[in-house]
A and B are shown apart, each in its own frame.
Chain A
Amino acid sequence: MRLFVYFLWVLFMLQDIRQHTQGTAAKIIIGIIVISFAFFGIQSILVSGGDNEIADVNGELIYPQQLQQALDTQKRRLISMMGDQFDPAMLDDERLAPQALESLISRALLMQAALALKLVISENDIGATVANMEQFQIDGKFSPVRYKNVLSSAGYTPSYFKQSLTEDMLLSQLSSGMAGSEFITPAELALNSQIMLAQRDLRFFTIPLEKFRSRSPLTEAEIDTYYADHQEEFRTQESLDIEYLELTLDNYRQPVSEAEILAAYEQAKQELQFQTQNRVSHILFESGGDSDLQRRISAAQDKLAAGIDFSDVAKDMSDDIGSADRGGDLGYTSGDAFPEEMEVVIAQLQPGVVSAPLKTAAGTHLILVTERKDADVPSFEDMRPALENTIQEDDAREMLLLTVESLKDLSFNAENLRNPAKELDLVVKQAEGVTRSAAEGLFSNPSVVAAAFSEDVLLAGNNSEVIELPGNIFVVLSVRKHNKPEIEALSVVREKVVAALIEENARVGVLSETERALQALQDGLTAEHFTSVNGYQLNVELGVQRRNTVLPPEVLGRTFQLPSPTPDATSIDFISMPNGDAVVIELLSVAAGELKSLPDQEQAQFQQVLATEAGRLINYEYQRGLRERAKISIL
């Protein structure tokens, strides 16, 4: 946009100049225009911005391609994280896109901030960083060949790689300066130790729920009352009886003719032969002055001609330090490990013969194939089952997709699934009692459940859309019967009622016992006495810290919430555990934490962790500040 305005301005100026060619100012302006064209080229003025951007961050535009790239990275990460259990719904672009866009915006803001502070990374430093990266090294030394290979297999061009590396380095300089320089002062360290490393001595004992289960047999009247009071808890679960059509590849498998399998075998053989493996050695000459290069190549060729072993010559003369140590050996390739021009030569080279000098981006190579492994061609019998399956599946998939297309039309217009099924020669299957939370089978699939319980299917009574599931499975369904939740008769749920009543009585028992215990301890009875008389086990823990992992977390948490005991009285309290037990806690004494109580190494770690956390807060606030000051519009 700015360029366009500039362009208009130039046009006006030219117009103006034609009318007033006499003025000195005009001449200077012509000069400036001529020079700006000369230096920056006409395209600097004519290039106009695309109008398909998706966000504008302080005037920097973010394009759909960038978002797509960020999404792809995110998806790869999710898939590798979830492994087999991956749910395609998690990879939904609409779900991931806002997050991906957020991170693109954050990165854009940070980059702008880095540039505004005039942070730069020199070419030299990028080079040094690349050379130090382990993935590009062979035996601890940078290998240009490996660099190219690793990049191309990861789908990077060197310039794109360098640019994103530069950005990463800039961002790390920025965060090292702002957040990485954070520290913890000695006073803060003392305060944090005092609190976080505080020690407490306590006694506690458990009043187990089990002890209060089924004390006395329940009367019918008790059961009746409990059922009447808690009817809501004894409802059946809502469920659906469903009719559905399921289409899988197996429905469409057809026998395959022998001739087809044979043809596929011949084709597979052709393709497999392509994967002959070659073990390759090379001698690399990086270019230095032309004549010098020529001289070194000739010298190597002379030595080889004189019968000196290739590996010895490589050791002496190769500039690829990584492979030189191993006599120039680069390992095996099946046609895709090296730059294409190199692979072409390798494929044509007889094993044991040294190639003519070959130029690639890395330099000039002399290449030797040290071993050739022709592809093992498996026998027809070995490959037959796999080939037959592949052909069958390919054919079946075609049929399947055609059928799915007609099914979509038919089921959309039909009242139920019987007619579509008849026309397409399918069987209507039945499923009964499908709940929202089935754990396995077809109806554990979230998209199927969602469709069954959708307004359109459940309430309006329509057929669902045709749902595609992983593994070439297609499903369409309709609801035959909606089983609403109902209160079940006492006779049906009697066992459940009894169990619930016993549980509740036990809980009440535990709590009244707890009350008795607290009262006794407050009245001055010692915990030893109370526990031994009543048959509980008393535990004593001394010097407990917050990071204790032995005590139940609930007991630990409560212990550190209690006020310090006074000289006259300990602090007594209780906690209800998730399993219904109660734990009575007596806090005996507290001591402020001291850093010195930690072993030396942990002291340093403790300090380190606190400083890092303070830095994390600074970093977060820094980025929030950038965002508050920024003009961001999402289009």
Chain B
Amino acid sequence: MEEYRTEEEQVEALRRWWQENGRSIIAAVIIALAGSFAWQSWQSSQEGRQEEASTVYQAMLQAIGAEGVSIDTQAAVNLAEQLKQNFGGTVYAQFAALHLAKLAVNREQLPEAEVELRWVLGKAEKGSDAEQIAQLRLARVLASSGDTGQALAILKDAAPGPYGASYAVARGDILQSIGRAEEARDAYLQAFSQAGSNQEGLNFSVLQQKLQSLTPLAPREPEDTMSVQLDVPEQAPVITDPVETLEQ
């Protein structure tokens, strides 16, 4: 930096510097302020919209009722439609459509459910949880309306993400309902293994009943009696590794 000899020179230098640059500094400050305000107000308006959507969604849940036993279906449907129309870009709208699909299935209006699920698939990000869940439900709805071919194709082509066990149960149910017992059995076994080591979240006994109905045990012959171990009472078979045990 230059050396200034006197105070006047310093003041003069400062003034000169301000004359040269003052305008652009003020401009910069104003631009930055305006940008910041615009950004903040855009943010808060976005947040405001999310909050509005949240309120409507909360009301919709209330109308559906706690136990899923619908208290006021019509009100719930209206609120869900409102979410889809006015807040289509939010996740709340996708949740609402998933609930509309559920309400439709419960009324056995499968084509309606199909429309809602396809709407979710159109809105949901690729690879998102909502997409993977909607995909699965779409396949099940199609299967229930009789189009098991397309249903199986969807389940086969889709990437199930973390929902491997749910996908496998759905495949097993579809296959069993059309009498492809062997493949159904494989699918259920796959559900067991997909559910992880402690099979958390999976209803073990229902799945086991389905497997049982596909693979009955042969009754024992009279001469088998003596091979029953004397001091170990027979217990219901516990499947630790279902694949291995049932494959025998």
* Interface residues of A, Cβ cutoff 8 Å to B: 21-22, 24, 27-28, 30-32, 34-35, 39, 117-122, 124-125, 169, 173, 176-178, 180-188, 190-192, 195-196, 198, 504, 507-508, 511-512, 514-516, 518-519, 522, 546, 553-554, 557, 560-564, 571-580, 582, 604, 607-608, 610-614, 616-622, 624-625, 628
CB pair B225 A181 closer than 8 Å: no
Contacts A35-B36, A176-B95, A185-B140 given: A518-B222 contact, CB under 8 Å? yes
Partner of A191, one of B51, B165, B177: B177
Given the known inter-chain contacts A31-B32, A576-B233, A617-B202, please indicate yes or no for A563 contacting B216, CB distance below 8 A. Answer: yes
Contact B230 A508 (CB under 8 A): yes
A518 touches B216 (CB 8 A): no
Whole-angstrom CA separation of A519 from B236 in the bound complex: 24
Q: Which residue of B lies closest to A619 (CB)?
A: B201
Q: Is B55 an interface residue (CB 8 A)?
A: yes
A188 with B140: CB separation less than 8 A: yes
Cα(A465)–Cα(B202), bound, Å: 47
A486 CA to B165 CA, complexed, in Å? 53
Q: List chain B residues, Cβ under 8 A from A180.
A: 61, 68, 99
Question: Which B residues touch A518, using CB under 8 A?
Answer: 220-222, 225
5 new A-B pairs (CB below 8 Å) besides A27-B28, A514-B222, A616-B203? A32-B32, A117-B91, A195-B209, A512-B226, A562-B219
Nearest-CB residue, chain A, relative to B91:
A117
Across the interface, B163 reaches (CB within 8 A) one of A124, A554, A621, namely A621
Interface footprint category on B: 35 or more
Question: Knowing A198-B213, A561-B217, A617-B201 touch, does A176 contact B61 (C-beta < 8 A)?
Answer: yes
Q: How far is the CA of A574 from the CA of B228 in the complex (A)?
A: 11
- Bound together, the chains give a CA A331 to CA B129 distance in angstroms of 53
Of A39, A178, A563, A611, which one neighbours B36 at CB under 8 angstroms? A39
Establish whether residues A511 and B58, one from each chain, have CB atoms under 8 Å apart when the complex forms: no
B169 within 8 A of A: yes
**With the chains together, A515 CA to B29 CA distance in Å?**
99
In the complex, chain A residues whose CB is within 8 Å of the CB of B54: 119-122, 125, 173
**Which residue of B is nearest A592, CB measured?**
B213
> Are A196 and B201 in contact, with the CB atoms below 8 A?
no
User: What per-residue 1/0 map shows which CB atoms of B15-26 lie under 8 Å from chain A?
Assistant: 001000100110
Interface centre among B99, B201, B212 (most CB of A within 10 A): B201
Question: B21 contacts which of A27, A117, A169, A628 (Cβ < 8 Å)?
Answer: A27
Taken together as a complex, chains A and B put the C-alpha atoms of A358 and B102 apart, in Å, by 55
In the complex, what distance in Å separates the CA atom of A573 from the CA atom of B217?
A: 10
In the complex, chain B residues whose CB is within 8 Å of the CB of A32: 28, 32
CB of B193 within 8 A of chain A? no
What residues of chain A lie closer than 8 Å to B219, measured between beta carbons? 562-563, 571-573
Q: How far is the CB of A627 from chain B (nearest CB, A)?
A: 9
Query: What residues of chain B lie closer than 8 Å to A119, measured between beta carbons?
Result: 50, 54, 91-92
CB closest residue in chain B, given A611: B68
User: Which residues of chain B are near A511, meaning CB under 8 Å?
Assistant: 225-226, 228
**B155 CB–A CB distance under 8 Å:** no
Asked if A173 and B58 sit within 8 Å, CB to CB, the answer is yes
Question: What are the residues of chain B within 8 A of A176 when measuring CB–CB?
Answer: 61, 95
- Does the CB pair A562–B161 fall under 8 Å? no
Q: Are B236 and A557 in contact (CB under 8 A)?
A: yes
Given A27-B28, A573-B219, A618-B166; A181-B99 close (CB under 8 Å): yes
Closest CB of chain A to B118's CB: distance in Å?
Answer: 15
Q: Which residues of B contact A169 (CB under 8 A)?
A: 58
Residues on A with beta carbons closer than 8 Å to the beta carbon of B140: 185, 187-188
- Find out whether the CB atom of A554 lies under 8 angstroms from the CB atom of B200: no
Chain B residues with CB below 8 A from A31, complex form: 25, 28-29, 31-32
Interface presence of B143 (CB below 8 A): yes
Question: Taking the nearest CB of chain B, how far is it from the CB of A41, in angstroms?
Answer: 14
Q: Is B122 an interface residue (CB 8 A)?
A: no
CB distance from B190 to the nearest CB of A (A): 14
B54 vs chain A, min Cβ distance (A):
5
Query: How many angstroms from the CA of A191 to the CA of B140 in the assembled complex?
Result: 13
- A195 near B210: Cβ-Cβ < 8 Å: yes
B162 interface residue (CB < 8 Å to A): yes
Shortest beta-carbon distance from A519 to chain B in Å = 4
A-B contact pairs, 19 of them (CB 8 A): A27-B24, A119-B50, A119-B91, A173-B61, A181-B95, A188-B173, A198-B213, A516-B222, A562-B217, A572-B219, A577-B233, A608-B67, A613-B206, A617-B169, A618-B133, A618-B163, A618-B166, A621-B163, A622-B162
Given A119-B91, A191-B177, A617-B169: A181 touches B217 (CB 8 Å cut-off)? no
Task: Say yes or no: B162 contacts A624, CB within 8 Å.
Answer: yes
With A183-B101, A621-B201, A624-B162 as known contacts, state yes or no: A580 contacts B225, CB within 8 Å. no
8 cross-chain pairs, A with B, having the tightest CB-CB distances, nearest first: A620-B201, A625-B162, A177-B95, A185-B144, A31-B28, A181-B98, A563-B216, A187-B144
Task: Check if B47 is an interface residue, CB within 8 A of chain A.
Answer: yes
Instruction: Indicate if B63 sits at the interface (CB-CB under 8 A).
Output: no
Is B223 an interface residue, CB under 8 A from the partner? yes
Inter-chain CA distance A449–B99, complex, in Å, is 57
> Among the listed B55, B137, B176, B225, which residue makes an inter-chain contact with A574, where contact means beta carbons less than 8 Å apart?
B225
Report the minimal beta-carbon distance from B168 to chain A, rounded to whole angstroms. Answer: 10
Question: Which chain B residue lies CB-closest to A32?
Answer: B32
Is B57 in contact with chain A by the CB < 8 A criterion?
A: yes
Q: Which of B33, B102, B218 contacts A35 (CB 8 A)?
A: B33
Partner of A178, one of B55, B133, B206, B209: B133
Smallest beta-carbon distance B46→chain A, Å: 8
Residue on B nearest A608 in the bound complex, by CB: B68
The answer to whether A191 and B133 touch (CB under 8 A), given A27-B24, A546-B209, A573-B220, is: no
Residues of B within 8 A of A622 (CB): 129, 162-163
Cα A27 to Cα B216 with chains together (Å)? 82
Nearest CB of chain B from residue A278's CB, rounded to whole Å: 41
CB nearest neighbor in B for A561: B217
- Which residues does chain B contribute within 8 Å of A614, judged by CB atoms? 166, 169
The docked-state distance in angstroms from the alpha carbon of A616 to that of B201 is 6
Determine if A617 and B162 form an interchain contact, defined as CB atoms under 8 angstroms apart: no
* Given A31-B32, A177-B98, A613-B206, A191-B176 contact (CB < 8 Å): yes
Residues of A contacting B90 with CB < 8 Å?
Answer: 118
Q: How far is the CB of A114 from chain B (nearest CB, A)?
A: 9
* A82 to B106 alpha-carbon distance, docked (Å): 42
